[in-house]
Amino acid sequence: MAGKAVVKQPTSAFDFEIVEGVSDKLTTVVASSSQSSPWIDPATIKLRQRIGRGLFGDVWLATRHQATADYDEYHEVAVKMLHPMKEENINVVLDRLGNLFTQCQELQHICWLQGLSVINGKLCIVMKFYEGSVGDKMARAKEGKLSLPDVIRYGTDLARGIMELHTKEILILNLKPYNFLLNENDHAILGDIGIPYLLLGVPSLSSDMSRRLGTPNYMAPEQWQPEVRGPISFETDSWGFGCSIVEMLTGSQPWSGKSVDEIFKSIVKRQEKPHIPEGLPPAVERVIIGCFEYDFRNRPLMGDILHAFLSSQEAAYGVEGWRDQGSRVNSDKLSGSGYSKWLVLKDQLQIGDTVRSRKPPNSCKPENMEVPGGTIVGMERDTERNGFVLVRVHGIHDPLRVHGSTLERVTFGLAAGDWVRLKTNGKKHSSVGILHSIDRDGSIAVAFIGLEIFWKGNCSELQMAEAYCAGQFVRLKGDIFCPRFEWPRKRGGDWATGRICHVLPNGCLVVNFPGMLVFGDENSSFLADPAEVEIVSFDTCPGIVKKYQHLEDFHWAVRPLLVALGLFTAMKLGLFVGKKVRRSKVKKGRNPVIHIEGQQGDAQNAAWLPPKVANIIFREGASVTTTSR
């Protein structure tokens, strides 16, 4: 390969340095001589045929030449060649790829990574070549779908593979049947080891790709704009897994035939979900329904999915020729709590934990708390991994027996779901966010607008922040001149007031403006950073004028209605006064003369008009006065 090679001392298990080629400007990567180095000399790879072109790169069938002192070996390999990227980013990606390579060694359900290389200036991942994929098998199958036993078996393999990567904190973000490879024993192997995650934050040369973090048909709502609607998390892969299982069962790709923009609108704006076929084993059906929860906190983790698939294997084998049977289990919302079972399972309570009653979803203040605060002193476990616990509450003699799902753990005064503010202001992200997890040692994961992944730190870096919930009215603070998101103004130029209709997992507020009349396709909802808004309520509006103005925020029809009502009242009042005056004149025995302003002719000519006609004239806008002759 043309280019200049520079060897430097390894700083880790492997090490690279990139230098620009002399003649052809190709980039050359040189690795250390470390044994575990993933580096493969590009001269030993001969590309034969391209077998796929994806959003993140091409896959080639290639031959790899390995020479030892005694013999030469030639193997078929698959080479994933990433799309070109800016030179300054190559080092970053190579570093990440190197880490990934180390992490993926000896994982059983992940495709075998043989090494890394740079061919024609493009970063390459050299893998074992597998004979086919689940996607290929579907393409050959009748109606393009697989049998239920196969789906459950492949699903179990894949859930294991995804869990292996999740344990290493790697997200895949690109789960789809063509990325599930099949080995010699017909087991499914994960063929994508998280390329979109690897490229996170690395600007792409392709404008098409720079907008996306996965394959649109399989992307979760938060995956479309993770810094706005995110962050991406392990549960983002649960959505992609759910889409793949549905496709394997039905033979049709979720949102098939829709454009990228239409898919975005369906998933993100309209909160639609892929259609789940009916009649699946109940545990599988429940878990797949859970995979399509809009808020990723309500989705199952891969461990829950694996549990459901394993428990359904026998049931699936009992079904001959699976059909859509028309029955449906209920979704897994815990009765009365509004939270999914999957959310509750994520935090297992222990004896000694400080707990309080879980507040209802979308509530700003704790209400009717059975346990305002207490300590767990005993536990009963049932088969569903959560059961009743005994809580000692201050001031009550005997411990209370409460279901664990109704409680939340409070550690250092904080519980998952609390609104928090960073004590030091973040640079590019909002300072207000939502706490997603707190470990017993105080380590935390917080979602902030502006970050694609969780912010991780210690609870000492946070303080409680004001909570927001759907239904509240908010307005940009007066000192915000350049808001993070576009925000409408009123006629006078002041920031308009809107109502929160949805709170995203990172605290981003989705706000609509019922006080403003929207025509056609005009954008009716806006986003807001909770750090930039203030709550508007009748209590906080000073004076009657401001209170009236707030009334107008409730519905655009309030103003015209009140104007009409005012006119009507004025008219009624005018008539009433007019009649009174007329009667008093008649009583005095004199005829009233009506002067109609704005009418031509002598006012006296109108004296013969009966009062009803005068009323009509009055209604039509002429002002009427009466005088005595």
Compute how many residues bind ligand ATP; rule: CB under 6 A: 22
CA angle 81, 85, 90 (to 5 degrees): 90
By CB under 6 A, what part of segment 364-403 binds ligand ATP?
none
Please report how close the Cβ of residue 61 comes to ligand ATP at its closest, in angstroms. 8
Residue range at the interface with ligand ATP (CB under 6 A); choices 15-23, 52-60, 225-233, 619-627: 52-60
**Residue among 80 and 358 whose Cβ is closer to ligand ATP:** 80
75 makes contact with ligand ATP (CB under 6 A): no
**Residue among 103 and 405 whose Cβ is closer to ligand ATP:** 103
192 makes contact with ligand ATP (CB under 6 A): yes
Tell the burial category of 617 from Cβ atoms under 10 Å away from its Cβ (0-12, 13-18, 19+): middle
Q: 229 and 213 in contact (C-beta within 8 Å)?
A: no
Among 29, 30, 31, 59, binds ligand ATP (CB under 6 A): 59
Among 78, 243, 302, 533, binds ligand ATP (CB under 6 A): 78
Please report how close the Cβ of residue 19 comes to ligand ATP at its closest, in angstroms. 28
Please report how close the Cβ of residue 103 comes to ligand ATP at its closest, in angstroms. 18
**Residue among 175 and 268 whose Cβ is closer to ligand ATP:** 175
**Residue among 3 and 135 whose Cβ is closer to ligand ATP:** 135
Residue 256 token pair: 């098939």
243 makes contact with ligand ATP (CB under 6 A): no
133 makes contact with ligand ATP (CB under 6 A): yes
Residue range at the interface with ligand ATP (CB under 6 A); choices 39-47, 85-93, 176-184, 436-444: 176-184
Tell the burial category of 303 from Cβ atoms under 10 Å away from its Cβ (0-12, 13-18, 19+): middle
**Residue among 52 and 378 whose Cβ is closer to ligand ATP:** 52
Measure Cα distances from 398 to 78, 273, 353 in Å: 66, 46, 17
Residue range at the interface with ligand ATP (CB under 6 A); choices 15-23, 56-64, 326-334, 576-584: 56-64
Please report how close the Cβ of residue 92 comes to ligand ATP at its closest, in angstroms. 19
419 makes contact with ligand ATP (CB under 6 A): no
174 makes contact with ligand ATP (CB under 6 A): yes
Among 111, 123, 391, 434, binds ligand ATP (CB under 6 A): 111
Please report how close the Cβ of residue 320 comes to ligand ATP at its closest, in angstroms. 30
Q: Can you tell me the distance from the alpha carbon of 190 to that of 103, in angstroms, rounded to the nearest whole number?
A: 14
For 624, the 3-state DSSP assignment is strand
Among 2, 24, 36, 52, binds ligand ATP (CB under 6 A): 52
> In 10 A of CB 579, how many CB atoms?
12
Please report how close the Cβ of residue 173 comes to ligand ATP at its closest, in angstroms. 10
Q: Between β-strands 16-20 and 27-31, what pairing exists: parallel, antiparallel or unpaired?
A: antiparallel
Helix, strand, coil share of the chain (percent; to 5): 30, 25, 45
By CB under 6 A, what part of segment 211-230 binds ligand ATP?
215
* Of residues 405, 413, 501, 399, the one with CA closest to residue 459: 413
Please report how close the Cβ of residue 294 comes to ligand ATP at its closest, in angstroms. 24
Q: Can you tell me the distance from the alpha carbon of 127 to that of 78, in angstroms, rounded to the nearest whole number?
A: 5
Q: 448 and 425 in contact (C-beta within 8 Å)?
A: no
100 makes contact with ligand ATP (CB under 6 A): no
Q: Can you tell me the distance from the alpha carbon of 400 to that of 393, in angstroms, rounded to the nearest whole number?
A: 7
Q: Can you tell me the distance from the alpha carbon of 285 to that of 332, in angstroms, rounded to the nearest whole number?
A: 10
* Of residues 376, 404, 372, 374, the one with CA closest to residue 388: 404
Contacts 24+ apart (CB under 8 A), 201-204: 201/452, 202/85, 202/89, 202/92, 202/93, 203/85, 203/86, 203/89, 204/83, 204/85
Q: Can you tell me the distance from the alpha carbon of 594 to that of 245, in angstroms, rounded to the nearest whole number?
A: 84
509 makes contact with ligand ATP (CB under 6 A): no
- Binding residues for ligand ATP, rule: CB under 6 A, are 51-52, 54-57, 59, 78, 111, 127-130, 133, 135, 174, 178-179, 181, 191-192, 215
